Structure 1
Amino acid sequence: MLNSLHISGYVLIDSLDVEFRPGLNIITGETGAGKSILIGALKMILGGRASTDMIRTGSSKAVIEGHFTVEENAKVHALLVDYSNDDLDHLILRREISSGGSRAFVNDFPVPVGALREIASEIIDLHG
């Protein structure tokens, strides 16, 4: 389950923290409110394509970080063995985009972006 999402320096967002609750979470708002930007940021931590164009004007880098709870998920636990500090029930996925490129992290361990995609396929369904 996605517990929280932190975004900084991404597109038009200076800094934003979003908390999610168990169950269905729906993002609504008027045209231009930033729903697509929020979904785009979420796609970044799930292994989506990154570009330096995504860095907010005036920021040196964009950072998107998602905190997940993955209790009792054997598939995810197996994937996390190489990227964990022994806490297999909590997961942090992070992307950093700077002029030097994009970096991906799982629980603060640097990983290839493909690792984010592999883990994401087991923990989240995103529609939008």
Structure 2
Amino acid sequence: MGEIPEDWAVALLGTVCTSFKTGKLDANAMKPDGEYRFYTCAKEHSYIDKYAFDDEALLVSGNGANVGYVHYYKGKFNAYQRTYVLSSFLADVIYLKIYLERKLAERIRVEVNAGNTPYITMDTLTDMSIILPQKEEQAAI
């Protein structure tokens, strides 16, 4: 990780984000004219008629060509069964998004479960070390 300033902390993502869930729907549940965003493992969101989440969240693609791709959304939405929904943050959510965008790809490269479709597990996220500057600095980043 390199040298970390004394007033920064290192924590597992599972302790900084206290809610990890997945969606429950198949990707084909999308409705082009739906009212709510529907996050799958694609880089672009789709739409759906019903929401399952009403929160500020980071949504991480759990499989496929875009495995590890991170979305941020605040509001009502739904998610595909292989999309991880992270919420209830104890650190600045935008800082965490940027951190994951920069560091998760390397973790996935080392840990990805290959086969016909590459995928990650919940532990890939919850057990990931996160470097945390003070809150003011997180917000500034």
State the TM-score, normalized to the length of structure 1: 0.26
| Higher Cα Rg, which structure | 2
State the TM-score, normalized to the length of structure 2: 0.24
**Larger RCO of the pair (alpha carbons < 8 Å, separation 6+):** 2
